[in-house]
Structure 1
């Protein structure tokens, strides 16, 4: 790729991230209604609102005994979550009740299991002064917004949506990413960023492979080297980020015209396996966020525990691990194509241009999306 990093040309690290995010938003995926079972790993395209009061009826917040009147109480049954109990009609009666179960009409208190004494179907003890059940609408009122559009769908969100009365959600699917690169690393990172990787592209060369990916319905294309400016011109592509003032590099992002007037972001990363990862996080992670309607991720900060050299005129993306105090240490070895350190890194410390990273300095961290993979 005849594309060189210059000391003064190109975009800064932060401006490149914002430009990549804008390119993703320009190719925003269309929303679709999906059943809950198909939504994990997608992104909400519409707010999730409560279809009814949450809870819809009084529910026990502890395991124990729903009692009426003064004790002791005669045990007359058991109530589990999902059941509709009959009322407690007389003083001196009670039923065993599970957390989350509907509280019977007539209940005056819930005696916790750990506070109860039970023998011969008689329960005794002293209920605590605090009410031990949730009232209708205590968590959310009907129509209240529970989760905003742009939020990634997680198992916890699916549980909330089901409790709120939803069978489907309006979401943006995971972007379909075509990877034109050898090895398993980039597809695995892309899945952790929220993309779904298509089958490997089989084109006989970089230009043909990109065309095949565009025609095959890819929402995003990632190449590790091999794509030149001549290829981009042949594709009718428009440069979005032509140079980023960072090390390692080089990296670029273009928009390729596709069928039906849509555009497909094309990221060209360094061929070096170690350098490709910070480039992926710098340009592709913001593109994925834009495609799905998620906000551009804010970068956390980290304190440096040891000196980290800078690069004159260029930001330096340094793989680091975190110690027990949360401070960052460079992970060796750090030479080209050396992946051992990267395998144990938490992310890349961003050392600003024309600065050395001194111990105690607080710098942005470009985090690796560890443990967030979604099959696909």
Structure 2
């Protein structure tokens, strides 16, 4: 019987679903609840619920230009100026009168329009005379941009600087944000060394300093990165001791005598949720859960691990934060890309005016092609031809 593995897309959706599920299951924990932060401190965080405006934007009918507030047809008799920050006047502007006004200042009742500074002049009799015809009113009505109690952003939205600025303009001072999921990285392998040029049979640790950074771009809080030897008991002990929301491991997911992750997950009572994925590189990746911790176990080859982290780690953290799954777009191939093996092929690509071109020097063990890539593209079994659109996967560091 042939084992049918989940597609990369199905695995991606499952990772997001499991993140959402874990967040919901642990929401009752005292330390897992949302927190309220001022807007500056909340930048980059995820809203824990819908954010509503506390006031109208603008809060008054205001001048959209520097010029004169006028009532009725001209010429107009000039009155006292109105500047931004002034208390709105209750006295109406009567027909045949005008008042100098600055951008953003409240227009008085009865204002028909604001005549721009460049469209009128004051004659020898001290009256304002329009010399450029215009049908535009140049008045921003109260609530034109935002109305009080209107939902500005739904829960799961990342608070970017422009969103924080709009919230501030709407009278918001602080927001409730989702808790940041903690993450731990475990780099497995006796052959992994932390410094210098590896001797034959060894490889440099390329994950301890990079995977935490990638997890941080996803929105997680990487608290530690540990190197773990190829030992069944040690692997099980490290995974068992983890109390973070997310544990990302590299290596030990295949089927050799030194691959202990699958057995370690079984020993600690973790439920296997995704058991390999029909994609290259990254096929032997695993997703499991025990209690309040989810384990994303990636292959040890550098490109395979990076692909797995981007494909499943990003959606998983998004689910933990209550963010929606990032929609997939399309990228056009500039060249034919063969794929004569079963399952999807993930390739790093460079963007050109003609479309996407796969980078050179890329296998599951290589990083050179990924180092200067603009993104990943997913080629289905059977390959793709020049001019065809295929799904891209955004690289979080680009």
Shorter-normalised TM range: 0.7 to 0.9
CA contact (8 A) 1:247 1:316 kept: yes
Residue pair 1:349, 1:366 contacting (<8 A) in 2 also: yes
In the alignment of these two chains, the number of paired residues is 354
**Residues 7-38 of structure 1, C-alpha deviation per residue, up to 9 Å, x if partnerless?**
84421112111211111011115433332222
Aligned CA RMSD, in angstroms, stands at 2.9
Residue number in structure 1 paired with 2:299 = 270
Distance 1:344 1:118, change over 3 A: farther
Task: Deviation per CA, 1:87-132: give whole Å up to 9, x if none.
Answer: 575644422312x333334433212244344799976534631221
Helix, strand or coil: the match of 1:131? coil
Cα deviation, residue 49, structure 1: 2.1
Matches within 5 A, 1:165-204: 165-181=171-187, 182-201=207-226
1:140 and 2:140 correspond: no
Partners of 2:267 and 2:167 lie apart in 1 by 47
Specify whether residues 72 and 285 from structure 1 end up closer, same or farther in structure 2 by C-alpha distance, changes over 3 A only: same
Contact in 2 for aligned 1:68/1:88 (Cα 8 Å): no
- CA distance in 2: counterparts of 1:202 and 1:107, whole angstroms: 72
Correspondent of 1:115 among 119, 142, 152: 119
1:10 to 5, 11, 22: 5
CA offset digits 1:26-82 (Å, max 9, x no partner): 1115433332222222222221223233332112223433344524664743512x4
Distance 1:348 1:186 in 2: 17
Structure 2 residues without counterparts, runs of 5 or longer:
28-32, 188-206, 253-259
Q: Show CA shifts across 1:312-342 (max 9, x none).
A: 22211111121125x2110112134432321
- Asked which structure has the greater CA Rg, the reply is 2
State whether residues 75 and 127 of structure 2, in contact with CA within 8 Å, keep that contact through their aligned partners in structure 1.
no
Report the equivalent of 1:3.
none
Question: Does structure 2 conserve the Cα–Cα contact (< 8 Å) formed by 1:44 and 1:153?
Answer: yes
Give 1:206 shift: 4.2
1:311 CA drift (Å): 4.6
> What is residue 20 of structure 1 aligned with on the other side?
15
- Relative contact order, CA 8 A, sep 6+: which one is greater? 1
Q: Does 1:252 align with 2:277?
A: no
Is it true that 1:97 corresponds to 2:123 in the alignment? no
* TM superposition shift of 1:291: 0.8
Q: Is the 8 A contact 1:41 1:174 kept in 2?
A: no
Distance 1:279 1:107, change over 3 A: same
- Between stretches 305-314 and 103-112, larger displacement belongs to 103-112
Give the one of 126, 135, 143 matched to 1:129. Answer: 135
Partners of 2:215 and 2:118 in 1: how far apart? Answer: 49
CA 88–320 in structure 1, closer or farther in 2 if over 3 Å, else same: same
Question: Counterparts of 1:193 and 1:113 in 2: how far apart (Å)?
Answer: 49
How high is the TM-score relative to the length of structure 2?
0.79
Q: Deviations over 1:225-283 (max 9, x none)?
A: 246112212322111111101100221111122xxxxx211111122222212101221
In structure 1, C-alpha distance between the alignment counterparts of 2:136 and 2:217, rounded to whole Å: 44
The residue correspondences of 1:339-350 to structure 2 (distance < 5 A) are 339-350=367-378
Whether the 8 Å CA contact 1:77–1:95 is kept in 2: the answer is yes
| Corresponding position of 1:53 | 56
Give the SS at the match of 1:27: helix
Deviates more, 1:188-197 or 1:288-297: 188-197
Cα distance in 1, alignment partners of residues 71 and 45 from structure 2: 47
Q: Does 1:280 align with 2:294?
A: no
The corresponding residue for 2:263 is: 230
Where does residue 272 of structure 2 map in the other structure? Answer: 239
For 1:7 and 1:328, how far apart are their aligned partners in 2? 34
How far apart, CA to CA, are the structure 1 residues paired with 2:235 and 2:87? 64
| Counterparts of residues 364-375 of structure 1 (less than 5 Å) | 364-371=391-398
Partner residue of 1:374?
none
Residue 177 to residue 71, structure 1, CA distance change in 2 (3 Å): farther
> What is the deviation of 1:207?
3.9
1:234 to 1:106, Cα distance in 2 relative to 1, 3 A = same
